[in-house]
Chain A
Amino acid sequence: MNGFLDVLGRQVLAVSAALGGLALLVRASFYWLFRSRLELRQTLIQMAKIGADSLPVTVMTSFFTGMVLALQTAISSQRLFNEPLFVGTVVSFSMVMELSPVLTALVVAGRAGAAIAAELGTMRVTEQVDALLTLGTDPVRYLVIPRFLAFMLVLPLLTVLSDFSGTAGGLVVSVMRFGIPENTYWHDIIDYMETKHFYHGVIKSAVFAFAISFICSYRGLSTTGGAEGVGRSTTGAVVASMVAVLLLDYFASSILVAMGIP
């Protein structure tokens, strides 16, 4: 019993310390964001990296997700109504409001987030972070802010791309497998979709970008203990990012709904 409480207490302390450290990192980032020149070149490099890293997986994931959504929807409505109805509506709404932002965030966390944690972790244990400090550069400004900004720009973009590719996946299955006319599919979407549905997903993806970039940067920069430590930081960063995405998804959705952005 004591042992259990001991372990529990330690875990609670570790999580609190991490959250505190994370909050300090966010604060330091905003401090530098408004007080120093932006590292434009680093930001562009990071945008290119995140985009190139995650684009193929994102597109493929969402395309297949759109396909499977169309399949399930068409089969269910065939059972109920003897014909596939509203397939475009279901596919596009599911993608735009929920699946694109979440799946893209999970893919990017596993790809670009892991890369950030590993890179910053290696820089930490080989004293490159200290070297930045002695050369007059703050690591938050030089390393964290460019990654944060790149995430905030690229993740929503990837999410929009994923909206399109998911919808396209649904279209392929609807037309080829169920013989739904292309026009019907598009009308099922256009007749119901409004810009605010689209914003709902994009805003959520920005929230995820914020969380993933800071969690992975923080885990990277707080790495200790050589190569083993870098491995630990990387897996830890990915798991924490994914959990954060799924938790924040619920809260962000309910706040957005309360604000009238359904």
Chain B
Amino acid sequence: MIQIRGLLKSFGRRPVLQGVDLDVGTGETLVVIGGSGCGKSTLLKCVVGLIPSDGGTIIVDDRDLRSVHDEAERSEWRGKFGYLFQEGALFDSMSVWENVAFGLKYMTNMPHSRYRRIASEKLALVGLKDVEDLKPAQLSGGMKKRVALARAIAASPRYILYDEPTTGLDPIMSDVINNLVLDLQKKLGVTSIAVTHDMKSALKIATRIAMLHEGRVLAAGSPEEIRESRDPAVRQFIEGRSMGPIGAV
């Protein structure tokens, strides 16, 4: 389980996270929603330890990130997570299948000979076939996103952090990905945090939803609770109106 308390992060003088409290139970999918630039990606990067927070605690499996000091421990911490980057972050010098199989070498004891087959299996899960030998530059935006997703789940991590898994995908492909996220949670008991703007996807995959606003968690609850929420800011966000308490300009 993941427990976040009072998380603080500023970039220079600009405060981004100003005391975020979140709990993600084992086997849950927490969906984080919130306006563009409100710090969702920053939150995920703090959890996985890619950027240091300025304060607060992050506890995963009863271990506090602050107690992680040397490089070996940091590497072990990051190894627990699969991470889908918002922009994919595919290695452009490698082919698609090498990208997907990359983590297997460092995070599993699997023999080399199986890498390619596993990569193909994971690619099939995200609805891609016959792309193994292409380079990332030869893929469309949505295909890149799905290759990145295949790479994030390849080593079967117990925790997965998704930064906008369905952005840039057509509605049918979005549903394929939603089902994949659901499957990972239901069949493999994966614990995840998913950031998304796509309310349809959020309501489908979430066991809980939290809305981030002005550096804090404005509201959190089950998908039904969020859908029925009376908070004007939450209503404005899920209904997608430009007028309301959240200034659009």
Q: Is B87 an interface residue (CB 8 A)?
A: yes
Chain B residues, Cβ within 8 Å of A134: 48, 50, 78, 81-83, 152
B50 engages A135 (CB within 8 Å): no
Closest chain B residue, CB of each to CB of A129: B89
Q: Are B106 and A128 in contact (CB under 8 A)?
A: no
Q: How far is the CA of A127 from the CA of B87 in the complex (A)?
A: 8
- Which chain B residues in 50-81 approach chain A with CB under 8 Å? 50, 71, 75, 78-79, 81
B151 — which chain A residues lie within 8 A by C-beta?
Answer: 131, 135
Cα–Cα distance between A131 and B50 once the two chains are bound (Å): 9
Question: Is B237 positioned at the interface, with any CB of A under 8 Å from its CB?
Answer: no
B188 within 8 A of A: no
- A136 neighbours in B (Cβ, 8 Å): 75, 78-79, 103, 106-107, 155
Query: For the complex, is A31 an interface residue (Cβ under 8 Å from B)?
Result: yes
Contact with A along B91-120 (1 / 0, CB 8 A): 110000000001100110000000000000
| Smallest CB separation, B190 vs chain A (Å) | 15
- Complex-state Cα separation, A127 to B106, whole angstroms: 19
Establish whether residues B75 and A126, one from each chain, have CB atoms under 8 Å apart when the complex forms. Answer: no
Q: Please, what's the 1-or-0 string for A125-159, where 1 marks a CB less than 8 Å from any CB in chain B?
A: 01110110111111000000000000000000000
Query: A133-B78, A137-B106, A138-B75 are contacts. A128–B83 as well, Cβ < 8 Å?
Result: no
- Interface residues of A toward B: which range? 10 to 19
Known A130-B50, A133-B50; judge A138-B89 contact (CB<8 A).
Answer: no
B79 contacts A130, C-beta separation under 8 Å = no
CB distance from A230 to the nearest CB of B (A): 13
Return the chain A residue nearest B82 by Cβ: A134
B48 touches A138 (CB 8 A): no
Q: CB-nearest residue of chain B relative to A137?
A: B106
Cβ of A135 and Cβ of B87 under 8 Å apart? Answer: no
Contact A31:B103 (CB < 8 A) given known A134-B50, A134-B78: no
Query: Interface range on chain B: under 10, 10 to 19, 20 to 34, or 35 or more?
Result: 20 to 34
B177 CB to nearest A CB, Å: 19
Given A126-B87, A127-B87, A130-B50, does the pair A135, B102 have CB atoms closer than 8 Å? yes
Is B162 positioned at the interface, with any CB of A under 8 Å from its CB?
A: no
Q: Are A128 and B71 in contact (CB under 8 A)?
A: no
- Interchain CB contact under 8 A, A128 and B90: yes
Interface of A is mostly: helix
Q: Measured between alpha carbons, how far is A95 from B157 in the docked complex, in Å?
A: 57
CA distance A130 to B75 in the complex (A): 12
Contact with A127, one of B78, B81, B89, B152 (Cβ below 8 angstroms): B89
Whole-angstrom distance between the alpha carbons of A154 and B191 in the complex?
A: 47
How far does the Cβ of A220 sit from chain B's closest Cβ, in whole Å?
14
**What mask results when residues 17 to 36 of chain A are scored 1 for a CB within 8 Å of chain B, else 0?**
00000000000100100000
- A130 & B106 in contact (Cβ 8 Å cutoff): no
With a cutoff of 8 Å between Cβ atoms, the chain B residues found around residue A128 in the complex are: 89-92
Check if A130 sits within 8 Å of B71, measured CB to CB: no
The answer to whether A131 touches B89, judged by C-beta atoms less than 8 angstroms apart, is yes
Nearest CB to that of B45 among chain A residues? A130
Bound CA–CA A52/B208 (angstroms): 55
| Chain B residue at minimum C-beta to C-beta distance from A32 | B71
CA distance A127 to B102 in the complex (A): 15
Most A CB contacts (10 A, CB to CB) among B81, B89, B90 go to B89
With both chains docked as a complex, state the minimum distance between the C-beta of B37 and any C-beta of chain A, in angstroms: 17
Q: How far is the CB of A36 from chain B (nearest CB, A)?
A: 10
A34 to chain B, nearest CB (A): 13
**Taking the nearest CB of chain A, how far is it from the CB of B80, in angstroms?**
10
Minimum-distance CB pairs A-B, first 8: A136-B106, A135-B103, A127-B89, A134-B83, A131-B89, A136-B107, A136-B79, A130-B50
Of the A-B pairs whose beta carbons lie under 8 Å apart in the complex, a sample of 10, sorted by A's number, is A126-B89, A127-B85, A128-B89, A130-B45, A134-B78, A135-B106, A136-B106, A137-B102, A137-B106, A138-B71
A interface residue numbers (CB < 8 A to B): 28, 31, 123, 126-128, 130-131, 133-138
Q: Which residues on B are within 8 Å of A, measured CB to CB?
A: 45, 48, 50, 71, 75, 78-79, 81-83, 85, 87, 89-92, 102-103, 106-107, 151-152, 155
